[in-house]
Chain A
Amino acid sequence: MSKFTKKKGNELPPVSTASLPDIVFMLLFFFMVVTVMRDTELKVEQNLPKANQIEKLKKDRSVFIFAGKPSLQYRKNFGEEGRIQIGDKFTDISNIGLALTEARGKLNPELQSKVVVAIKVDDDTNTGLVTDIKEKLRQLNMVKIIYITASGDPIDQ
């Protein structure tokens, strides 16, 4: 009779975790592929202003100009006035041309004529600095610009 009582039907077999590493690896590879390590180190503060009438930036044809107050660790040497950063270093307004041409040279040759200058400026900066940049860009004939903003409603900020 023991033949029949031995079997306990209500005990669930444990869930197999053998495929767990595979699942985790799949996720891992996804994140490894999409991760981009930052190539420029920001030396200025960047709290972007908010706007809602925005368009997406085409990254393959853009060069970046950062501007704003120097970050805390650079205040001692560079003061509190708004500064311009292109690539990895602080740039003077008169050197923008050289730095931008260099940055443009790194783009895909077909897209170099369609270059868009992305202006990333901290919201606590005087517009005068931006005007200087714009004036310089006109002289360089790089007239397509985009003011990088965060998305949000500007009225209730």
Chain B
Amino acid sequence: MAKRAAPEVNAGSMADIAFLLLIFFLVTTTIETDTGINRKLPPIEDNEEDVIIKQKNIFTVLLNGKDQLLVEDELMELKDIRKAAVEFLDNGGDGTCSYCRGKKDPGSSDNPDKAIISLKNERETSYKMYISVQNELVAAYNFLRDRESNRLYGWNFSEVKKDIDAGTYLGDVTDARAKLKEVQLLFPLKLSEAEPKKN
């Protein structure tokens, strides 16, 4: 008796099964990338020496428990703080800053290296507002750094930094990193977050 050939398995429903699985994975997938604002906290030092900083070199931002902003003793809206911070950082009061384009107001900061932004908040301040203010202050620095990198190298600081971080920068990465450092030093980020007022 001749051996009967085994009948072929019907593969017609294979596509349906695969679709089902596909849809399951499509629904469960969350491609998440976390983004945020980087910050370095000041380390605790044993010798707490009082460094004397001239009042004019400090840009005080107070944020109270009702989310109101007091910038340099004046009430301010969130949208205006970026411009105010840029003016303060870019002032160049003592004339040593050759790249500053500010008003050279003697009552404001001496140069970007000495300029410090001090952000104080209360315990009841909402986190949303706090992050918004932080964001605007970082934006002020980024604005100035973009301007300087454009002047020196013809590209935007923040864009190149983003590309390097994402690994999509076309060109010499080490060279670009060194240039980023230089631009950073022109406007070093000096943002002090003091402990909040107790009340």
Q: Which positions in A face B, CB cutoff 8 Å?
A: 17, 20-21, 24-25, 27-28, 31-32, 34-38, 49-57, 59, 116, 118, 120-128, 130-131, 134-135, 137-139, 141, 143-151, 154-155, 157
Contact = CB atoms under 8 A, between A and B. Distances in A.
A143 B34 CA distance: 19
Given A55-B165, A143-B42, A155-B78, A35 B25 contact: yes
Contacts of A121: 127
Per CB-CB distance, the 7 closest pairs between chain A and chain B, nearest first, are A128-B123, A123-B128, A31-B25, A154-B132, A51-B135, A148-B36, A49-B131
Nearest to B32: A36
A135 B195 contact: yes
Contacts of A120: 34
A53 B127 contact: no
A21 B18 contact: yes
A55 to B, nearest CB: 5
A66 to B, nearest CB: 12
Contact of B18 (A25, A38, A131): A25
A125 B127 contact: yes
A121 B161 CA distance: 26
B112 to A, nearest CB: 18
B37 A31 contact: no
Interface in B148-199: 158, 161-162, 165-166, 193, 195-196
* Chain A interface, >50% SS class: mixed
Interface in B25-60: 25-26, 28-31, 33-44
Contacts of A36: 30
Contacts of A37: 28
A127 B11 contact: no
A127 B22 contact: no
By size class, the interface of chain B is: 35 or more
Contacts of B33: 56-57
B41 A145 contact: yes
A149 B35 contact: yes
A147 B134 contact: yes
Given A35-B29, A49-B132, A127-B122, A54 B127 contact: no
B142 interface: yes
Nearest to B165: A56
B121 interface: yes
B125 interface: yes
B6 to A, nearest CB: 21
Given A25-B18, A126-B123, A148-B36, A56 B166 contact: yes
B127 A126 contact: yes
A154 B81 CA distance: 13
A125 to B, nearest CB: 5
Nearest to B31: A34
Contacts of B165: 55-56
Contacts of A144: 38, 40-41
B109 to A, nearest CB: 21
